[in-house]
Structure 1
Amino acid sequence: MRAIHAIALGALLLCGSVAAAEEKPVRELEPVHVNAMRNPEVRKYKVILAGLDAFDRHRQLAPAADRLRFRLRSQAKDESEQPLAIRLVGDSGFNMPIAIDADMRFVVPRSEAAADAESELELNRKRRSYRTDPEIRTPGLSANQRRLGDLRLECKVTVAMAKAEIPTFWVLTINTILLRTDWCDFFGDPEDFRWEGVSKKAHFPFRSDQPLAGAVLVDANRSAKLEVKGGTFHVPIGNFSWSDDAVIELTFAEPKAPTGTAAETPRTAP
């Protein structure tokens, strides 16, 4: 039963609260600057603020991280010729462009005006083309390394945003099922082992930028293999026998060799 709860909660947090968002009508906006399409990809500003508040409350998990950043991740082939663009847009003509860097990361500022305008974070792509994830990285780590405290803080931010997005009924239901209000602590029962110190029934999924061949959790002289599935690795963030300074070492899968065609097949001499 615990495994079912973990899978259900993990799926909710990874996939976002799409159903909750779709239940409400889409705000009709003037097609200026960023967007000229109906039904764009949006996230309510109050949800972003819930994530910013969670980041500030739990900064001790990643004290070297200077700010909360968000990352756009493609969920479908992007055939648009327009460059990606994001803005905060709201009532009474409120419009605030947001800068995106080359790695599709961006920072959303706190803005009283944006909150008063009941703004939404709007991407110039149709819904479900991209998803917006929090990303917290301590400086100095390699591209294949993730610090456990950073991931714990990412979970806190993700859960806070999910709670602000889904109906209160579901928040209370999940609290009851998990017997706690801090959902992140659910992922990693120290009494349940798959590998050394790693829970086999409750672990939080995180995404990698590319397919994985493996992942190992390292804490001083202790290490444990983690489960990977495609580009996702599963971490026992609620198992506090592992310190915040523990590091997950990711091994990326080798790229697949291109499949040869008949035209590429060398001919042999007759």
Structure 2
Amino acid sequence: MRMMVAGLAMMPADAQDIEPDGPDIVVTAGKPLRVDAKLLRAAQRRFAEDRPAHAPRATLRFELWRGYSRISATDVGLALTDGAGGQLPVTIDGDGRVVFATLPAGRWFLTAPAQSQGMHLRPIVLSSGTSVEDRRLGDLRAQCRVMVAMAKADASLLAMPLIGMFDAIGGCASKRFGFYHPVEHPLASATATGAGVMRTLRLSVTSTSYEAPLSDRNLPNDARVRLAYR
């Protein structure tokens, strides 16, 4: 059985012929992007809680994706809007990722015009001096927790027992699930190295995601996860 939680594909750890690539916070086809700010607040709270232990030099950003392609948020026309017609601009960094400082109180939504159809939003945690191809494992561990917090904020009543079971068996630190992180280009390999330990990481069937060793206690938070593309 596959569990999809906010951009993570979570499988039983012994699953074979895995195809984990799937949706994040998905916008229904044909509709423009509209993400409730309560998800963004949940992400910020969780990141602030986990940052000291897992990612002390990292920042939390958000990316726009359509399928396997990341889309720069620079020209999408993102804005925070409310039901009364209010609108606030959104800050975009030099890499086309969305940056939120203090989100306004009340019911707000991250929106974009019609060209945002089929887009989805992903949080990304990155330390200074790192990249998606060369990441700290601690950043990935923090990112997993942020994603789960967003999923909880958006979960239906029917989904809550499943998420509760996930929490009960260890959450992002559980060895009973494989945690897959999607990438934009097909992978040739993915490795994790740290404290004299090296792991070759498992790839999905399409080589568009890799299993991050979040539960591996032999790999510290400063271990590096490095990707090589085809």
Q: TM-score, normalised by structure 2?
A: 0.80
Structure 1 residue 203: Cα displacement:
1.7
Deviations 1:169-217 (A, max 9, x none): 31223323x361752122x35xxxxxxxxxxxx2211122322100111
Root-mean-square deviation (CA), in Å?
2.7
Q: Distance in 2 between matches of 1:76 and 1:136?
A: 19
Which has more helix, going by share of residues? Answer: 1
- Match of residue 242, structure 1, among 195, 219, 224: 219
Alignment length, in residue pairs? 210
**Long gaps (5+) in structure 1:** 23-37, 190-201, 254-270
Residue 108 of structure 1 corresponds to which residue in structure 2? 100
Structure 1 residue 83: Cα displacement:
2.8
**Long gaps (5+) in structure 2:** 9-21
Q: Is the 8 A contact 1:46 1:115 kept in 2?
A: no
1:212 paired with 2:187, answer yes
The AA in structure 1 aligned to 2:105 is A
Residue 8 of structure 1 corresponds to which residue in structure 2? 3
Question: Bigger radius of gyration, 1 or 2?
Answer: 1
Q: Is the 8 A contact 2:6 2:25 kept in 1?
A: no
Q: Distance in 1 between matches of 2:151 and 2:160?
A: 9
The AA in structure 1 aligned to 2:101 is P
Residue 158 of structure 1 corresponds to which residue in structure 2? 147
Q: Distance in 1 between matches of 2:217 and 2:185?
A: 28
1:68 paired with 2:57, answer no
Which has more strand, going by share of residues? Answer: 2
Q: Is the 8 A contact 1:76 1:130 kept in 2?
A: no
Structure 1 residue 11: Cα displacement:
8.2
Q: Distance in 1 between matches of 2:163 and 2:223?
A: 29
Structure 1 residue 245: Cα displacement:
0.8
Q: Is the 8 A contact 2:195 2:218 kept in 1?
A: no
Q: TM-score, normalised by structure 1?
A: 0.69
Q: Is the 8 A contact 1:40 1:126 kept in 2?
A: yes
Q: Distance in 2 between matches of 1:126 and 1:167?
A: 28
Give SS of 2:48's match. Answer: helix
Q: Distance in 1 between matches of 2:218 and 2:211?
A: 16
Listed as ranges, the matches of 1:183-198 within 5 Å are 183-186=171-174, 188=175
Listed as ranges, the matches of 1:112-151 within 5 Å are 114-116=104-106, 118-125=107-114, 129-141=118-130, 144-151=133-140
Sequence identity of aligned pairs in percent? Answer: 27
Q: Distance in 2 between matches of 1:143 and 1:127?
A: 24
The AA in structure 2 aligned to 1:184 is C
Q: Distance in 1 between matches of 2:5 and 2:193?
A: 23
